[in-house]
Structure 1
Amino acid sequence: MKTIIGLEIHVQVSTATKLFCGCSTDYQDDAPNTHCCPVCLGLPGALPRLNKKAVEYGLRVAKALDMRVLEESEFARKNYFYPDLAKAYQITQHDKPLAVEGTVEIEDDEGHEKIIRITRVHLEEDPGRLVHVTGASKYSLVDYNRSGIPLLEIVTEPDMRSPQEARRFLNKLRTVLEYLGVFDGDREGGLRVDANISLEGSERVEVKNISSYKGVEKALTFEVTRQRNLLRRGLKVARETRHFMEGRGITTSARGKEEEHDYRYFPDPDLRPLRVAAWVAEIDLPELPTARKNRFMEQYGVSLNHARTLTGDPKLADFYEEVAHIDPALAATWVADTLLGELNYRDMGIAAVPPGHIAELLELLKAGTITDRAGVQVLREMLDACVEGRPCEKPATIVKREKLGRAAGDEFTSLVQAVISANPQAVEDYRSGKEGALNFLVGQVMKETRGRADPRELRRIVSESIKMGGV
């Protein structure tokens, strides 16, 4: 049974003020209902005034996704009642969106290039937020600080065939949005997804308000399993809206699926139609992820995998370019593999790492002053200091304090002899042709040297010592 997935992505664009009023969008650390005015509270007589920057950001996204901007787009009222929707309608674009017919290129599950079609991009306002309070008595509070935040809704065609493809698409789209500077990926609730999923021949189910990339994959994986199990038992899949419960990794039924006519759309009489197609030619786009990936391979000679990793986050790409002058290949390996792995382990972002410190570390590695193993120790010491709030020492200072400078192999001759004497069985195994025994002996020496010796040089010394009769 073929899986059919389409996504509706709601992106909070990073404007300073809301879509139809002058209230600040920087509300995350402030008290509830302190970033509100008669417009975003829907009070009688309050009139909306469109945010020009939000329109510009929408056009920037449309141009990056190679979309056709309509000659005339229009705002409409989407009517429904919900406690966090103060006006009892949402201002959105319906019949006449900002732009249509775009594409995003991803890899399918076999690693081949695949085009995901974008149906439309349109602007709308975010509703408020419900805060559910539990305890002796359960009730909900309404915070309208979010009400009126500009949203860009990006709707795809049902071109994805697995939860994994959906997650890859979202990762690619998020990267494009961050490169365009229209979206803050670290902002809570900055990107929310409604996922439409069906198995071929069955009804479509919508899973609402998924707030993480991993959550999308988990919710869709659960839905694929749930729907297949229903069909195998001879039951029908109900056309409905479901909620994803991230803590439990399941979806639950919320209500029957609404139809468009349930919302009674009509043009908003307080807002004039938009005619902004000519504006697109004036918008300059930055270097986008695919172009930057190709440039990294050509300019720096890095591998395809490293180029993909390094350009997957604009901050990481900028960081790499600050240190690539030391040695492009060495920098790619250490930034994309070692540094990124250590950051992920500590749940840290690249912004917390001084580029100058990594450049100095790369210089020590390139000059042979320290070994790779010692370099990892230095890096971990630097990052641990950041996590613990201690001053982030320079690599050379750590190397000197911890005595991690590379030592010549002959400094460890006595240590090699001690290890050989303590492991006669491993010596015999190596003499009988078992290469793994030599690896074991070198490892024992490396433990004692704390990474100061070059493993290849130690391997030579241990091998020669055994051949010379060392026991």
Structure 2
Amino acid sequence: MKKQYETVIGLEVHVELATRTKIFCGCSTAFGAAPGAHTCPVCTGMPGALPVLNKKVVELALSVGLAAGCEINRCCKFDRKNYFYPDNPQNYQISQLYLPICHDGCLTIETASGEKQIRIHEIHMEEDAGKLIHDEWEDCSLVDYNRSGVPLIEIVSEPDMRNAEEVIAYLDRLRLLIQYLGASDCKLQEGSMRADVNLSVREAGSETFGTRTEMKNLNSFKAIARAIEGERTRQIELLEEGKSVSQETRRWDDNKEYSYAMRSKEDAKDYRYFPDPDLPPVVISEEWLDSIRSSLPELQPEKMKRYQEEYGLSEYDSRIITESRKMAEIFEKTAALCGLPKKTANWLIGETSRLMKENAVEADKLSFSPGHLSKLIRMTEAGSINTTIAKEVFEKIFMEDVDPEAYVKEKGLLMVNDDEVLERTVEEVLASNPQTVEEYRSGKTKVTAFLVGRIMKQMHGKANPAKVNEILRKKLER
């Protein structure tokens, strides 16, 4: 009988914190600057330069820890992690090994199999390294130190995940939590959220862990899912062949869908940790912790529940809207202004999502005002414009945030409700389509759609559809 295997997965998630300056110096953390533009003696590891801790880093780390249900170490310390890479100018990284700021938390995820709790072993603060840029044409590597010293938190899970679906659900839950807190934008493509996957396989039913490998270079959820399946298959094949799995760090090539060994996997002793002599312990008072706790915003699960109870939205609608903090803000402000939460949800889930996809706009970049969307909804409900015109106007709101009332008036798009004008147009269309009229009178009532279309075309789409249908039906039944 063929052996059955179970996959065991734990994650180390690095998140760049949304501070204006770095963790131990005053250099900017802005993304996309010219190489070396945001550097100083501290973040480039110059002799004699001393670090000074950024208080905002501690506060953001605390907010993530509290939201993730972690215990907080009231006194935490920084340690030096020694290793020698070109992107690490000091030849050590300032991190936390012995007393991390947060520990023993938990997040609840939802998958097709139901709810599951993923334990968080710890969250610690550290500084990021620089970035190596490999030039294949010149066969050399360049280093940009702008990222060196950017503040990170590393969120280390317990090995509680068993497949790619659970991993993606955990990462998505973590990403939303951190974005709602405003602690980071968590953009994988820009490196502000990076996940290393620790994976092993074992025979189903065994309580003993297999030999794990660490997968790096994963910059999208799809790449993470493919890497998990690829590494799982590779390890099972080795075991089936009677070979052993080496404990090592592997780099995933998403284009080739293949991983290759980078180096043997280090343990803590290989880094020769010791307490950083330049940084004093961080003492967290109860008053400071209470102030952080009281400033925590409403998170997605609570917001979803409230939208269903307060606004009468479905679970699906509330989930889609709350997948972005920005979208949720637009929804609440628009619904408050127009008093029509369900209509607001429909515009956000429908037209807004469509235009975001077509124009490659992320939710946090939405720039139209709730006031303009609420005006458009009220105009549509009042019959001032029809649905077709409303969609055309909303596209201008989405792209340029125009005032819909002024735009409709300027372009002459107000809906025609004048009975006399509508009756005259209906009569003209009926007179020019006698054969269609006869078809209707012989029982083919579906031809009314054709006649309505001709009327709307003649009115340049500005006729009130309800009135058009009413007048047309009366005239056809005479």
TM range (shorter): 0.7 to 0.9
Partner of 2:356: 343
Structure 1 residue 57: Cα displacement: 1.2
Question: How big is the shift at 1:177?
Answer: 1.2
Measure, in 1, the Cα distance between the counterparts of 2:105 and 2:455.
55
Q: Distance in 1 between matches of 2:217 and 2:441?
A: 62
**Paired residue secondary structure (1:145):** helix
Between 394-403 and 150-159, the greater mean CA deviation after superposition: 394-403
SS of equivalent residue, structure 2 residue 260: strand
Indicate if the aligned counterparts of 1:417 and 1:465 stay in contact, CA closer than 8 A. Answer: no
Shift of 1:266: 2.2
| C-alpha separation in 2, matches of 1:164 and 1:366 | 42
d(CA) in 2 for partners of 1:37, 1:163: 41
Q: What residue in structure 2 maps to residue 358 of structure 1? A: 373
Where does 1:308-319 land on structure 2 (aligned, <5 Å)?
308-319=319-330
Q: 1:300 is matched by which residue type in structure 2?
A: Y
Residue 84 of structure 1: how far off its partner (Å): 0.5
Instruction: Give 1:197-216 correspondences, 5 Å limit.
Output: 197-201=199-203, 202-216=210-224
2:345 aligns with 332
How many percent of aligned residue pairs carry the same amino acid?
A: 37
2:456–2:463 contact (8 Å) kept in structure 1: no
SS in 2 for 1:210: coil
User: Quick one: distance in 1 between partners of 2:170 and 2:463?
Assistant: 45
- Structure 2 match to 1:302: 313
Tell me which residue corresponds to 1:260: 268
Distance 2:431 2:265 in 1: 76
1:115 lines up with 2:117 in the alignment: yes
Say which SS state the counterpart of residue 2 (structure 1) adopts.
strand
8 A contact 1:426–1:441 mirrored in 2:
no
Describe the superposition over 1:121-151 as per-residue Cα deviations: whole angstroms up to 9, x where unpaired: 000110111122232x221111112111110
1:12 aligns with 16
The alpha-carbon distance between structure 1 residues 233 and 378, as it changes in their structure 2 partners (threshold 3 A), is farther
Secondary structure of 1:195 counterpart: strand
Whether the 8 Å contact between 1:442 and 1:458 is mirrored in structure 2 is no
Give 1:181 shift.
Answer: 1.9
Structure 1, residues 347-402: CA drift from partner, whole Å, max 9, x if none? 1245322322212211112212233333222222444xx3xxxx543323444566
Tell me whether 32-41 or 80-89 shows the greater mean CA deviation.
32-41
Residue of 24, 27, 37 corresponding to 2:28:
24
**One-letter identity of the residue aligned with 1:339:** T
Give the CA deviation at 1:412: 4.3
Report the Cα distance in structure 2 between the residues aligned to 1:422 and 1:347, rounded to whole angstroms.
44
Q: For structure 1, which segment, 392-401 or 112-121, has the greater mean C-alpha deviation from structure 2 after superposition?
A: 392-401
Whether the 8 Å CA contact 1:420–1:427 is kept in 2: the answer is no
Offset, 1:403: 5.4
Q: Distance in 2 between matches of 1:398 and 1:205?
A: 59
Matched letter for residue 245 of structure 1: D
Amino acid at match of 1:367: A
AA aligned opposite 1:270: D
1:366-405 superposed matches below 5 A? 366-383=381-398, 386=399, 392-400=401-409, 404-405=413-414
Is the Cα–Cα contact under 8 Å of residues 75 and 281 in structure 2 kept in the other structure?
yes
SS in 2 for 1:344: helix
Q: CA deviation at 1:228?
A: 5.4
Q: 1:138 to 1:394 in 2, by over 3 A?
A: same
- Residue number in structure 1 paired with 2:334: 323
CA contact (8 A) 2:415 2:463 kept: yes
* 1-structure distance, mates of 2:87, 2:429: 71
Contact 2:70 2:106 in 1 (8 A): yes
Where do residues 233-248 of structure 1 align in structure 2 (5 Å cutoff)? 237-248=245-256
Shift of 1:68: 0.4
* Paired AA for residue 123 in structure 1: M
> What is the CA–CA distance in structure 1 between the aligned matches of 2:157 and 2:76, rounded to whole Å?
19
Deviation larger for 442-451 or 252-261: 442-451
Mapping of 1:36-435 within 5 angstroms?
A: 36-110=39-113, 112-135=114-137, 137-185=138-186, 188-201=190-203, 202-227=210-235, 237-276=245-284, 278=286, 279-283=288-292, 284=294, 285-325=296-336, 326=338, 327-349=340-362, 350-383=365-398, 386=399, 392-400=401-409, 404-406=413-415, 411-412=425-426, 415=429, 421=435
Determine the C-alpha separation between the residues in 2 that align with 1:417 and 1:104. Answer: 68
Q: Distance in 1 between matches of 2:46 and 2:174?
A: 36
CA shift for structure 1 position 444:
5.8
Q: CA deviation at 1:85?
A: 0.5
User: What TM-score does the superposition give when structure 2 sets the normalisation length?
Assistant: 0.82
Determine helix, strand or coil for the equivalent of 1:194. strand
Native 8 Å contact 2:452 2:468 kept in 1: no
| Structure 2 equivalent of residue 434 of structure 1 | none
Deviation at 1:189, TM superposition (A): 1.8
Q: CA 1:364 to 1:143, structure 2 compared with 1: closer, same or farther past 3 Å?
A: same
**Deviation at 1:404?**
4.7
- Would the alpha carbon gap of residues 83 and 109 (structure 1) be closer, same or farther in structure 2, given more than 3 Å must change? same
C-alpha contact (below 8 Å) 1:416/1:445 kept by paired residues: no
2:75 is paired with a residue of what secondary structure?
A: coil
Cα 1:441–1:98 change in 2 (3 A) is same
Measured after TM superposition, the shift of residue 312 of structure 1 is: 1.8
Contact 2:452 2:469 in 1 (8 A): no
Cα deviation for residue 195 of structure 1 reads: 1.5
In 1: Cα distance, 2:466 partner to 2:234 partner? 54
How far apart in 2 are the matches of 1:168 and 1:447? 48
Unmatched runs of 5 consecutive residues or more in structure 2: 204-209
Q: Label 1:113 to 1:43 Cα distance change in 2 as closer, same or farther (>3 A).
A: same
In 2: Cα distance, 1:287 partner to 1:446 partner:
50
Q: CA deviation at 1:199?
A: 3.4
Query: CA offsets per residue over residues 293-349 of structure 1, 9 Å max, x none?
Result: 222222222222221222221111111112103111111111123212212221124
| Distance change >3 Å, CA 118–CA 418, structure 1 → 2 | farther
The one-letter amino acid paired with 1:127 is A
1:74–1:272 CA contact under 8 A, matched in 2: yes
- TM-score under structure 1 length normalisation: 0.84
1:38–1:403 Cα change, 3 Å: closer
Instruction: Report the more deviating stretch, 323-332 or 183-192.
Output: 183-192
Unaligned stretches of 5+ residues in structure 1: 432-436
Query: How far apart are residue 30 of structure 1 and its match?
Result: 3.2
Q: Quick one: distance in 2 between partners of 1:429 and 1:452?
A: 29
